[in-house]
Structure 1
Amino acid sequence: MKPSPVRSLHWVFKVADRSAMVGFLRDVLLMEPLRHEEFTEGCAASCNGPYDGMWSKTMIGYGEEDTHWVLELTYNYGVKSYDLGNDYQAITITSDRVYDNVVAKGLGTPLPSSSGPRPPLALTAPGGYGFVVAPGPVPLGGGAPCPVTDIALAVSDLDRSLAFWSGFLGFAAEHPSPSEARLSAGPGQCGLVLRQLPAGESLERGTAFGRIAFACPGEQLQPLEAAVRAAGYAVHTPYVSLDTPGKATVQVVILQDPDGHEICFVGEAGFRDLSRRDSSAPRLLAEAMAGDGSGAWWAQRQEREARMAALGV
């Protein structure tokens, strides 16, 4: 089953320190909140992970979700840490403006394989999530192309993964090296890079594992689910309708690739309605962060860690 057309949408990060992550994405990578939603109980499709309590969703990026690949930050109230695995590798952003901002702040480390006066820079966001920022003439915002060019995930068997992503789902594939492949849902879209883990290293998802999302025509979701089952692949969440208070209802099917990477397919029409930019998003996010008490908790933790470090503990 090859859903068509497919549009690449976003990657989901679970964040423990919401204020720190938002501050990094806004002040270092120059992203902006596009919409913010609060929920009183866990998601039926485990969009916030295997948690049942209050949580929030913040979409943040460089432009409208109709035309830009963005990030989804899920924040579970009361959860203060997640264990990182080796599944997520990095997201690459190609923009002179972002690059210059990273350099001006004295951040980033040149990639080992890079050279020249403006090498791509690796940096780490709060929570341990990796990013790569490269120079490039892509402007930010408006109708400009999206500067988020790739997301890289680790896989345990590249050939097996390509059989699923390209052979079964129909993503176009480039194979620049024996240990890496780049998949695309279409021209100008954020690419998915699959990287073979070194021999002897197993894939670990930890508790911080994310999820990649795509849109396709809604009428294709149930046939896609049936085809996945018939082919012997895994369905994480069967076809379900998800409600967002005051906004559109979206139909969803969530698959798993051979390594357990979660792949969310949503109905295009409903998602376009849901994902309209909300001008009140920055205010709603700021109010939520100010009201949940986490800022004080993290400040106390940092103070305690500083005292312990001074004592050599």
Structure 2
Amino acid sequence: MGVLCKTSSFIKTVIKNRFFSLKSLKMCSCDNKIAKPEIRTLHYVFKIADRRKTMEFYKNILGMKVLRHEEFADGCEASCNGPYANRWSKTMVGYGPEDDHFVFELTYNYPIHHYDKGNDFIGVTIKSQDILKRAAENSWPIIKGNVLEAPGGYKFFIDDEPQSDNPIDKVTFSCSNLEETINYWNCILGMKVYSRDDEIKTAILGYSFKQTKLEFIQISEKINRAEAFGRIAFSCPDEQQLVIEAKVKQIEGKILVPLTSLDTPGKATVRVIILADPDGLEICFVNDAPFRKLSQYTPDDEKILIVQMQKDDERMLEEKKI
């Protein structure tokens, strides 16, 4: 019962914060060199255990499309697929090209069939009337407050209003100390504070009002990232990666992966630095120009995904026979 109550309070807080006003905007006075419009909020990474059910949700319920799909024989040097040294894939899904849309990276580790979920990730808010209609038409459960649950237990809060071209409004996370979290994201990483409520301990931050924003809600429990933990990604010019690295080193913050080049077969090589905020939320900053080449919309990639999902089905049938 306790877990249900905590989840319900999260939902109520997120719903309350859906319609924050610019009149209550509180800007931090930190003087930093990072808060520039060149930084783009790119995507959030979900670990998924069932590609077919997951794709049904993102395509048929949320109405997204497959933007690109990539297969990898070994684990990622930057732990993009988590702490797994195995074959894996990533599927990027969204409402439009990654150049100007916030999207999701769906990471699939072939040997893993389940991920324990922690309390670090609360949910994603999307503004759309069409999503609720599709959910009803496809008999997908709608939880009180217009909340949908994706395979894996990831929650999506749906604002029932006309859908814009970039309808993903914000991604919400738990934090253990709101003041420390704001200080890190605003004063160290240069995000603007768009809304803050010290009574219910929440804040909404972003690099641009038009981009998808991050919301943090302070909770009393210890942050548990469990196995399903994700990663939020941003792009910036090469020189800003160096500034970010220097600022994080200056405060002795966590750098999980120092500046590293990552190759994608047949595509561009990008450079990334992976950080962790005070509660361990993983943060990726990738250099913008190469990433724009890497992230080009490739519709034919969906055919590769379909073939691989068919092979997933065959493997599952074989496993049931054993």
Name the TM-score, length of structure 2 as normaliser. Answer: 0.85
Preserved contact between residue 18 and residue 289 of structure 1 (Cα < 8 Å) = yes
Find out whether 1:126 has 2:151 as its counterpart. yes
CA distance in 2, matches of 1:240, 1:294: 37
Question: After the TM superposition, which of the residue ranges 36-45 and 163-172 deviates more from structure 2?
Answer: 163-172
Give how far 1:103 is off: 3.2
Aligned amino acid, residue 221 of structure 1: Q
Deviation at 1:174, TM superposition (A): 2.8
Assess if the C-alpha contact under 8 Å between 1:203 and 1:259 holds in 2: yes
Checking the alignment, whether the CA contact within 8 Å between 1:84 and 1:209 is kept in structure 2 is yes
1:96 aligned residue: 129
- The letter for the 2-side match of 1:138 is Q
1:57 and 2:64 are equivalent in the alignment: no
Structure 1 position 294, deviation (Å): 6.4
Write out aligned runs for 1:1-313 (5 A). Answer: 2=34, 4=36, 5-106=38-139, 107-111=141-145, 121-139=146-164, 145-178=165-198, 179-197=201-219, 199=220, 201-293=221-313, 296=316, 300=320
Aligned residue pair count: 285
Instruction: Tell whether the 8 Å contact from 1:88 to 1:209 is kept in structure 2 after alignment.
Output: yes
Deviations 1:242-285 (A, max 9, x none): 00000011110111100000000000001100000001022111
Which amino acid in structure 2 is aligned with residue 43 of structure 1?
C
Separation in 1 of the partners of 2:312 and 2:130?
A: 33
Q: Secondary structure of 1:162's match?
A: helix
The CA distance in 2 between the partners of 1:176 and 1:103, in whole Å, is: 34
In the TM superposition, residue 297 of structure 1 has moved relative to its aligned partner by 5.0
Pairwise CA RMSD = 1.8
CA contact (8 A) 1:3 1:220 kept: no
Q: Give the distance between the partners of 1:294 and 1:150, measured in 2 at CA.
A: 37
TM superposition shift of 1:299: 9.6
- 1:160 Cα shift? 0.5
SS at match of 2:204: strand
TM-score with structure 1 setting the length: 0.87
- Which residue of structure 2 lines up, in the alignment, with residue 309 of structure 1? none
Q: Judging changes above 3 Å, is the alpha-carbon distance between structure 1 residues 299 and 267 closer, same or farther for their aligned structure 2 residues?
A: same
1:9 aligns to what SS in structure 2?
strand
Once residues 290 and 228 of structure 2 are traced to their aligned partners in structure 1, the CA distance between those partners, rounded to angstroms, is 28
207-216 vs 229-238, which deviates more?
Answer: 229-238
Post-superposition offset of 1:293: 4.2
CA contact (8 A) 1:215 1:266 kept: yes
Deviation at 1:137, TM superposition (A): 1.7
Quick check: 2:90–2:106 contact (8 Å CA) kept in 1? yes
User: Secondary structure of 2:303's match?
Assistant: helix
Structure 1 residue matching 2:246: 3-state secondary structure? helix
Q: Equivalents in 1 of 2:104, 2:273: separation in Å? A: 19
- Once residues 229 and 18 of structure 1 are traced to their aligned partners in structure 2, the CA distance between those partners, rounded to angstroms, is 38
Distance 2:314 2:229 in 1: 22
> Does the CA contact (< 8 Å) of 1:64 and 1:276 recur in 2?
yes
Shift, 1:226, TM fit: 2.2
- Retained in 1: the 8 A contact 2:232–2:284? yes
Deviation at 1:99, TM superposition (A): 2.6
Distance in 1, matches of 2:197 and 2:320, equals 47
- What is the one-letter code of the residue matched to 1:155? C
Judged with a 3 Å threshold, the aligned counterparts in structure 2 of structure 1 residues 294 and 22 are, in CA distance, closer, same or farther, namely farther
CA distance in 2, matches of 1:299, 1:61: 32
Q: Which residue type is aligned with residue 2 of structure 1?
A: I
- Counterpart-to-counterpart distance in 1, 2:178 and 2:319: 43
